Amino acid sequence: MPFLRHALLAASTNPWLRDHATKTAFVRRSVARFMPGEHAADALRAAQDLEPQGITTILTRLGENLTTAAEFEDVTAHYLDVLDRIAASGLDAHISVKPTQLGLDLDPALCEKNLERLIARAGERRNFVWIDMEGSPYVDRTIALFKRMRQRTPLVGIALQAYLYRTQNDVESLIPLGAAIRIVKGAYLEPPDVAFPKKADVDGNFFTLCVRLLAEDARRPGAVLHIATHDVSLTARLAAHIATHEVPSSAYEFAMLYGIQPGQQARLAREGKRLRVLISYGEHWFPWYMRRLAERPANVWFVLRTIFG
């Protein structure tokens, strides 16, 4: 249903809808399926609940395209505190940040400084910082930022989107660094001159990129692949490739979003596969929630059932 996906992704950036929808009780109720709460404590509790299954986590505070130095500082201070709280809890939980939360739009130098502060704290706390990938206008700057960080430390990873034509080249440019790379399909509304319009092509590219990153010559010190998808058939194909080529389990982890395909998550964990679940929390969930709805039209019916059910 490309029309519905397009409409929901367009809605994700509409300020009027955001202001109204986030105050509506039924929308707030339906969001709870994907988000354990608005506070870091809610995310930490959810991480604790997943731990007995052997599932590790990544925590991310929602919010993007922030515009003031005070907001960038607030987010940075928040994540510094979260790194401390993770260490105190003993959980195996990384953090994941969006560069536009740290100042990329307004002040790239400040963004870099803020990211450095987070990575330094992650080093002190034996943790790890992931950089999310946002819309295509940010890709060059985000990769450049990642490369500068990676030259200094292996405690940083980056998400790359399989729907972009350019990603194959980006992967090749990152392999020599020994990079931690999270391959995702891509969640933003992108024009056909930058991204594959057809889902089958995105899925095909996802497989190709993962196979490339699992190859022996790509397995350098610091390199790890996050296979970040809920696509059961892609996961199965990649698991078969991994078994056939005897890829060591240290070379990859599966990664999924909190609340999506919990059955598949439990199955992977039961099979002894390494799985990290990304848990989002925070007050600014509207664009992110619209992207989740756009990923699966059936979710819209789920929301309608919440209203009328």
Catalytic residues: 132, 182
Q: Which residue type sits at 216? A: E
Q: Map the footprint of ligand FDA across residues 44-63, applying CB under 6 A.
A: none
Output phi, psi for 42, to 5 deg. Answer: -65, -40
Using CB under 6 A as the binding rule, the residues of this chain from 247 to 276 that contact ligand FDA are 255-257, 260-261
**C-alpha of 198 from chain center:** 22
- Which residues, 199 to 218, sit near ligand FDA by CB under 6 A? none
Please spell the DSSP secondary structure of 24-40, one letter per residue. -HHHHHHHTTT-S-SSH
Amino acid at 217: D
145/139 Cα distance (integer angstroms): 10
State the Cα–Cα distance between residues 277 and 265, nearest whole angstrom.
Answer: 8
Binding characters for ligand FDA, 140-179, by CB under 6 A (x = yes): -------------------x-x------------------
Calculate the alpha carbon distances from 55 to 7, 50, 128, 227 in Å: 34, 6, 16, 15
Evaluate whether 145 touches 112 at the Cβ level (below 8 Å).
Answer: yes
Tell me the closest approach of the beta carbon of residue 68 to ligand FDA, in angstroms: 23
Q: Which listed residue (73, 84, 107, 295) binds ligand FDA by CB under 6 A?
A: 295
Among the listed ranges 69-77, 78-86, 120-128, 288-296, the one in contact with ligand FDA (CB under 6 A) is 288-296
Which of residues 278, 285, 286, 288 is near ligand FDA by CB under 6 A?
278
Q: Helix, strand or coil for residue 272? A: coil
Residue 231 engages ligand FDA in binding (rule: CB under 6 A): yes
Residue 40 is which amino acid? A
Closer residue to ligand FDA, CB minimum distance, 56 or 299: 299
Binding site for ligand FDA (CB under 6 A): 132-133, 159, 161, 182, 184-188, 228-231, 255-257, 260-261, 278, 292, 295-296, 299
